[in-house]
Every structure is written in C-alpha cells, then in structure tokens.
C-alpha cells in the first residue's frame, strides 16, 4: 500500500464474485484484480494500424474470471476512450474500482443487470490495452545492466552514471503490438567479419526476448511542468506484461553512439490487461538501496515513496518451440524473476522522465527494462541465459537454444502473491517468431 | 526532379498568382511553392496537448504570399485531417497541387470563389503541421558527426559504422511543438566535478539549438513490410524547418550506453509549413559519395534514387538576444549550411528505417540530424560554433555566446534557389528560451 493507493475492502481476500470462474483457485482474475483492457467480438476485425484496427470498435472491458465485463454495457462509462478513463485522478479511479468490486461481488443487486454485460474471454479479440502515444524504455535491472555490460564492455560493465541516473531512451510506439500477433524476424546490418570492413546483411541470427513490465501513464503533465517525486505515483495507471524483442547482432553494430534503433523497433508485444495501481496495493514493500551505494539525488528521494516503492510481482518466461507446440507441450519455463529486484522505483522513473519538463500523456508506456534478477536462472533474456550465445540452454525436449529460432513462442507470465492477500495475475503476453521475409 | 516527382507546369518560374503578395520578390510562398500547414483564427484557442489544442478547430491551409488558403472552404477537401491528405499516393497529391496551382494562377476562373477562402497569415495561429505519431532523429551530417565525435571521443571521432549505417534513434513525439512556442531551459543531472562522485543538478548550462529538417512521412507501410529503396521517395510528403533543442551537459552524463534522453525530449520546434516533395522537384541533384569511401550496401543503393538523391536547400540560423529584441534588431546570422551536404539521402533514411519491418505512419517525423556543412561557419549548433564552449562567438552587439542564454531567440530559415526556377522558402522556425523553473 501507499498513501496514494490505500488497501481497502476491495482487497479482502475472502470476497467472492457471482462470476463463478473468478473464484476458481488459480484464476488470474479474481474479484480483487479487475484489470482493464480493450476487446471486441472476434471476427469483427479490420486492418491493423499501430495495434489498432481501423474498422471494428474496441470496447473497454474488465477481466473477471474467464469473462470480460463491458463497461459501457454495464453503465459504468458512456464512452470507449481508454485514455479518458486512465486520465482520471486516482480518487475517481478508486471510485470506479469500488463500483466494479461491489457490483461483481457475490450477492450484488447488480448481478441481473450486469450478467448481460459479460462476454466470455474465449469469444473476444483483445487489442492493445490502450493506444500508445510515446514509448520509453528504461534499464532498471542492475543485474541485467551488469551482465550485458560485461559482454559489451568487459573492462567497465556498469557505467558510473548507472547508480545516479535512471537510464532510459525512447522506443518506437507504432510497432507496439498486442499479445498474440506474430513477430517477423528482422533483417539488418551486422558487424563485419574479422578482417573485413563491410558489414553483413541478412536475417538477425541473435533474436531475443526481453521480459519487462509496461508501466502505463494515467494523468499526464503539461510540457515544462515536472512531476515531483511525491506526486509521481498518482500519474501511474497500471502495469502489463511486456516483451521488448531485440536483435542483438543488429544492436551490437548500430548502437554507437546514439543507442538502439532497428534492433528494437520491429516489434514490442504487450499483454492485453493492465493491472491497476489500486489492485497492486497489497504487494508494495519498502525499497532498500544497498548501503554501500550513494543515496539518490534529492529529486528522486522521498521517504513515503521509498517506504512503499517496490511492487512485488513474480515473473516468468516460457519458451515453446514448434516441436513442443506440435506435441501439445506447453513449453519450458526458462526463467523466473521478480519486479522487486529493480534498482529504480516506478515513481522515480516518472519523476526522472519529467524533471526536464518533458510531458507525459495518458497511455504513454514506460518499459521497466529487462527484469533480470541476481541469480543466473533469473536472467530475463537469451543473451544472458546463454552467456551471449556461448552456452546454449538445453530444453526438456533435448532441443538447444542460444537465441530464438523461427517457430519459437515466447510466453511471459506474472503473478502477485502474498500471505493474507488474494493472488492476482497479469495474464500472459505471447508471440511466435515468423521466419524473415525472403 | 526524380521519376516520382517530375517537373511540370507548376514549376514554371514565369507563372504569377492573382494573390499579389505571392508575386513580390522575396516572398517565400510564391505560386510555385504551395506548402501545407494547419491554422486557425488567432484567439480561437484552447489547451495545448502535443502541440494540438483540444478546443478550437484546426484547418488545412496552403500558404500563398502573405495569405493562407483554406482547403475546405475552397472545396478542395471535405475534411480537416492532415494525415488523410498526406497518406494519398503521390499521383493524387500531384493532382491536388495542380488544382491549387491552376486555381491560384493569375487569370484563373476560381479567383472569385477562392478569394473568400483566403485568410491573412497575420490573423491566424499556426499549429504543428500535422500530429506527430513517432519522431525519429537521424545523424546525416558527417561534418556534425565528426566535429561532435571529436569532442566526445578524440581518439575516434567517427565510428566505423557511420559510413555504412544511417545512424538514427527515437525521439519524443509529445514534446514536438509548433514554432513560436517558447522553450523552457531544462534542469537535470550533469557530470560530477573532478574529484567528486556525485553529479551536479540544476538548470542546463549548455543549452543548444540544432538546425535540422523534418522529413514528413506521407504514405505509411504495414508492420513487417520494408520499403525498398526505389519506393522510398513515394513515402515522403514534404519538408519543414526543425530545431532539435539539446542540453549538452545533460547529454554528456546520461547518454551512455543507450543514447540521448532528457537532453533532447524537453522540446523540439517545427516550422508551420511543409514544403512538398512536388515543390522541391527543381532543386534535386545527384548524390555523389566520396570515391575513397565504400559504396552503400545494395539495399541502400539505387541508381535512380542517387541520380536525384540530393535536395538543395539553403539553411540559416539566426540568433536574436533579448538586448537585440529590445533594440528592434533582427538578430545575427550565426551559420549557413545546405541540406545538399548530407551524407545519406532522404530515400535512404526511409528504406533503412523500415528494412527490419518497422512501420512508418502518415505524419511521422524523420529529423535529418544537425545539418552542419564542411566549413566552420557552417556549423549548425553552438556546440560546434564555440568548439564545445571553449571559443565563444562574438555577436554584432558585442555580446558573447558559448551556449544559449535565457531570452535568446533562435530563428531557422530556409530557401531553395536555382537558376531557371522560382525561388521558394520554407518560412521560419522560431522560439525563445525561457529561464528554468525556480
């Protein structure tokens, strides 16, 4: 919990819903979760455009068990504009959460009316949770930064600015795509072979996933008006699973001096459901920085924010090869980590991003960066798992992987789990690698 | 000219308009130009949001002399959606240009009807030329890259990838603002003083301009579908003056390893008028790469594109200090350069950007990067003009500048000039530096 997002009756672990599937142990979407997403009836389709479909209307929905509650049909909103919903102040969002919780709770008088607002998740297509205006990617795992830095710069794995600056850079918004959409292997230039001056060109041979979380901005700020650290939490709407696909060989050749570009902007997959800051309240814990490190600068420091700065979210990466898929095998879990190991809090990212006056807008996506933990099995990319391709991992089928191969599916999963709280899930972010275009 | 953008009767230098101000020598907007922008009546305002105003309607206009022609009032479009206009195929855009040219030409039967569609430029407020979905900044001046690289990395000013890769990175779309909007000096972290470990924090002391051109995308491409080099020109809509403000001290501390972030995303100013690829046809010339350098890879090579690859645009930076402004002094011209000196063509930028399948969308902005020429007086940023702050420039008032000071206005200007063609202008991109917030 934090001052901005208190724990209240909507977090009561004993509460149950009249939507019976929400009460099944193991459901990611019990009554205490209530994540937001955008859905439409499957097959009402159209042309993809920035993860939107030009035809076919998107509706705002909330996941409950194996169903979606349509907010407009339920009379809770009179529009389908997710940005408008997200831009509300936390108090208004809490009121909406309370209305949802009370209406979906077992015994609610709303049951008769709202039953008509439910659609089975199996019958809908999910879009991006919201249109993304700007996408910024951070680098908040010191473990990822150190391991990757060691591969790129053995003499200085962690640069001196890392413990002071929440390092971030701008990503591509147009290629943020919904979970389920396949990802085509990119082509590009890669470093020349030894003795040659001319770079190679062709399909990436070091295609990788990055397990991240997408932090979605709710209320924005005006250009020129920084968001102070004590106000930062109020500008966050929620969190979704996020896979920032990367082509390591393209990255290694292009990234100096201005950072990654084509190595990243061919696709970034986001899960359909935004779990709100309100729902995450029971999973907050103090942020404690290693005492051997200097304290952050004052603009990034706040006792209140640090007291609840960490969000404990268990994360997993699963890899399902084509061979596994054909055999009905769900895939292997290839890493496990936790957002609690991030070096910078979500509030610090918001405040740092705006300290120069940069304006954030509703629906902007802040990627956490690859969320690797301190242990080798917590490595959240193939680059780390295979030590830069030098030590392939062996899967349960006997197949080996240094990087991703055509036909591989990567599935991200996430859960919040704490004694005394209802377990809530983030759902899945899933995509399959297609071969490069001929 | 190029195969995509032929020279035709709309480039006839002898043609005149019934809008008499368009025929004045020195007007940037003669009949042969016809640039597009978005305007509304001054004072019909509202809240700024990504350079948009939430209230107050924007209209699509074309500059002619000192007037704006409203395209809807003139019956040329039935909407106010600039993206929709830009996304048309070049043939449709050429048809619109022909209709505009023929209707505005002296003696046209349209004069009576269209006179009612004119508004004096002095009476309108200009917005962003179009909403910007994604903004990419390139680095196409080898002179800028070498000079700046020498300051950051004396041992290796130009990295080995430069002659192979059109280096680019993603910028911030939300803070792309219209010309005329002031720019607040950003605060941020800067490198620790010698002997200290802790970075400094405060207003930037090395605030800079960057003279660039914004290349606007017309037709987009689907995700996963690269744009081949021979098709690239058809995806460009036009060009506008662009100032990518930069805080060099913030940049120097934050930019490793993932590139510039807060040093750039506090503001980027764009001029109101997009000069179309059609209008630029007479100012094309062959691109010739230094024979000592290797040829570009095949995906970036095309005889047709290279034959007309260069766009000759004369560019200027003017600096007007507060003292000058008070004295009615228009400012000093502090540099002059030409887009013809860029190392990569516009077509190469489009093709490189999409070679991995990245999708471009109508209205996306591709910055050329700082367009410094080979001579010292062609340096397109203060960083270069003052040799990293070590050699302040002296202005005509006796004032000195290493970097920009509060109250300074930076004015970018641009012209196309060639014997046998009508001289056309890009107008101005102007903004004044406000002091940092207390």
Work out the average pLDDT over A309-325: 98
Instruction: Write b or e for each residue in A111-132: b if 16 or more Cβ atoms lie within 10 A of its Cβ, otherwise e.
Output: eeebeebbbebeebbbbbbbbb
Our CA-based measurement puts residue A432 at a distance from the nearest CA of chain B, in whole angstroms, of: 14
Q: Which of A29-38, B154-163, B298-307 has the lowest mean pLDDT?
A: B298-307
A92-115 pLDDT per residue, tens: 999 999 999 999 999 999 999 999
C-alpha to C-alpha distance for A373 and A145, rounded to whole angstroms: 11
In a 13 Å sphere around the CA of B49, the CA atoms on its Cβ side amount to: 12
Chain B residues 46-105 with CB within 8 Å of chain A: 48-50
A205-256 pLDDT per residue, tens: 999 999 999 999 999 999 999 999 999 999 999 999 999 999 999 999 999 9
* Interacting residues of A347 by C-beta distance below 8 A, sequence separation 6+: A229, A232, A233, A236, A302, A305, A309
**Residue A183, in any domain of the structure:** yes
- The number of C-beta contacts closer than 8 angstroms across A and B is 211
Work out the average pLDDT over A304-324: 95
Contact (Cβ atoms closer than 8 angstroms) between residue A74 and residue A103: yes
Which letter does DSSP use for residue A122 in this model?
G
**Residue A54, in any domain of the structure:** yes
Cis peptide before B257 (omega within 30 of 0): yes
Task: State which of A126, A143, A171 marks the end of a domain.
Answer: A126
Contact yes or no for A358 and B172 at CB 8 A:
yes
B303 burial via Cβ count (<10 Å: 0-12, 13-18, 19+) = exposed
**Residue B387, in any domain of the structure:** yes
A175-202 pLDDT per residue, tens: 999 999 999 999 999 999 999 999 999 9
Whether B151 contacts chain A with CB within 8 A? no
Our CA-based measurement puts residue B318 at a distance from the nearest CA of chain A, in whole angstroms, of: 24
C-alpha to C-alpha distance for A393 and A376, rounded to whole angstroms: 12
* Given the residues B144, B209, B308, B352, the one annotated as active site: B144
C-alpha to C-alpha distance for A118 and A74, rounded to whole angstroms: 9
Check whether B311 has a pLDDT greater than 50: yes
C-alpha to C-alpha distance for B370 and A382, rounded to whole angstroms: 37
**Residue B2, in any domain of the structure:** no
Whether B187 contacts chain A with CB within 8 A? yes
Instruction: Give the three-class secondary structure for B250.
Output: helix
Domain that holds residue A41: 9-126
B156-215 pLDDT per residue, tens: 999 999 999 999 999 999 999 999 999 999 999 999 999 999 999 999 999 999 999 999
* Interacting residues of B130 by C-beta distance below 8 A, sequence separation 6+: B38, B82, B83, B86, B216, B274, B362, B363
Give the best residue of A357, A368, A436 to mutate against chain B (max B CB count within 10 A). Answer: A357
Contact yes or no for B169 and A199 at CB 8 A:
no
Do residues B101 and B174 both lie within one domain?
A: no
C-alpha to C-alpha distance for A341 and A141, rounded to whole angstroms: 7
The torsion of the CA quartet A41, A45, A48, A51, rounded to 10 degrees, works out to 0
Whether A391 contacts chain B with CB within 8 A? no
Contact yes or no for A167 and B254 at CB 8 A:
yes
Where in the sequence numbering do the catalytic residues of A fall?
A: 144
* ipTM over 0.90 threshold: yes
Our CA-based measurement puts residue B92 at a distance from the nearest CA of chain A, in whole angstroms, of: 22
**Residue A188's domain is classified under what CATH number?**
3.90.850.10
Do residues A190 and A286 both lie within one domain?
A: yes
Check whether B155 has a pLDDT greater than 70: yes
**Spatial CA neighbour of A178 closest among A429, A367, A406:** A429
**Residue A27, in any domain of the structure:** yes
Do residues B77 and B175 both lie within one domain?
A: no
For A364, the closest chain B residue by CA position comes to B174
In a 13 Å sphere around the CA of A344, the CA atoms on its Cβ side amount to: 32
Do residues A106 and A174 both lie within one domain?
A: no
Do residues A107 and A39 both lie within one domain?
A: yes
How far from the centroid of its chain's Cα atoms is residue A295's Cα? 27
Write out chain A residues lying below 8 Å of B174, CB-based. 133-134, 223, 358-361, 364
pLDDT (0 to 100) of residue A44: 59
What does A281-329 look like in DSSP terms, one character per residue?
Answer: GGGEE-----TTSPPPPGGG--HHHHHT-EE--EEEEEEE-HHHHHTT-
Instruction: Please indicate whether residue B329 is annotated as part of the active site.
Output: no
C-alpha to C-alpha distance for A114 and B364, rounded to whole angstroms: 42
Instruction: Give the three-class secondary structure for B261.
Output: coil
Residue with tokens 């290629």: A175
**Residue B411, in any domain of the structure:** yes
Instruction: Write b or e for each residue in A7-33: b if 16 or more Cβ atoms lie within 10 A of its Cβ, otherwise e.
Output: eeebbeeebbbbbeebeeeebbbbbbb
């Amino acid at each position: 919990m934090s001052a901005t997002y208190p724990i209240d009756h909507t977090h009561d672990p004993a509460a149950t819903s009249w939507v019976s599937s929400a009460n099944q142990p193991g459901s990611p979407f019990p009554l205490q979760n209530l994540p937001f997403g955008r859905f439409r009836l499957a097959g009402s389709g159209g042309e993809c455009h920035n993860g939107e479909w030009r035809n076919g209307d998107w509706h705002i929905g909330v996941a409950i068990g194996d169903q979606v509650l349509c907010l407009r049909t339920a009379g809770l909103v009179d529009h389908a504009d997710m940005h408008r919903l997200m831009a509300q102040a936390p108090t208004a969002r809490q009121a909406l959460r309370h209305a949802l919780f009370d209406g979906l709770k077992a015994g609610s008088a709303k049951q008769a009316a709202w039953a008509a607002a439910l659609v089975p998740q199996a019958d809908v297509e999910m879009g991006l949770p919201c249109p993304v205006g700007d996408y910024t990617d951070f680098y908040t795992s010191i473990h990822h930064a150190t391991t990757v830095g060691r591969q790129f710069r053995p003499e200085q794995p962690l640069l001196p600015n890392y413990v002071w600056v929440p390092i971030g850079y701008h990503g591509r918004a147009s290629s943020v795509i919904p979970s389920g959409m396949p990802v085509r292997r990119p082509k590009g230039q890669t470093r020349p072979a030894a003795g040659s001056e001319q770079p190679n060109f062709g399909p990436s041979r070091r295609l990788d996933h990055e397990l991240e979380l997408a932090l979605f901005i709710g209320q924005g700020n005006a250009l020129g008006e920084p968001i102070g650290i004590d106000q930062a939490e109020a500008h966050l709407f929620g969190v979704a699973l996020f896979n920032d696909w990367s082509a390591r060989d393209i990255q290694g050749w292009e990234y100096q001096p201005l950072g990654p570009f084509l190595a990243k902007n061919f696709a970034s997959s986001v899960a359909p459901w935004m779990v709100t800051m309100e729902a995450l309240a029971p999973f907050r814990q103090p942020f404690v920085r290693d005492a051997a490190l200097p304290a952050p600068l004052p603009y990034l420091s706040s006792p209140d924010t640090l007291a609840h700065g960490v969000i404990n979210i268990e994360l997993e990466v699963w890899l399902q090869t084509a061979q596994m898929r054909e055999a009905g095998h769900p895939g292997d879990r290839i890493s496990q980590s936790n957002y609690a190991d991030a070096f910078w809090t979500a509030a610090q990212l918001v405040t740092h991003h705006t300290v120069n006056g940069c304006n954030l807008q509703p629906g902007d996506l802040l990627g956490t960066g690859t969320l690797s933990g301190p242990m080798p099995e917590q490595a959240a990319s193939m680059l780390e798992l295979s030590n830069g391709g030098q030590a392939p991992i062996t899967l349960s089928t006997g197949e080996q992987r240094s990087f991703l191969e055509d036909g591989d599916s990567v599935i991200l999963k996430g859960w919040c789990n704490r004694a005394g709280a209802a377990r809530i899930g983030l759902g899945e972010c899933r995509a399959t690698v297609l071969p490069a275009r001929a």
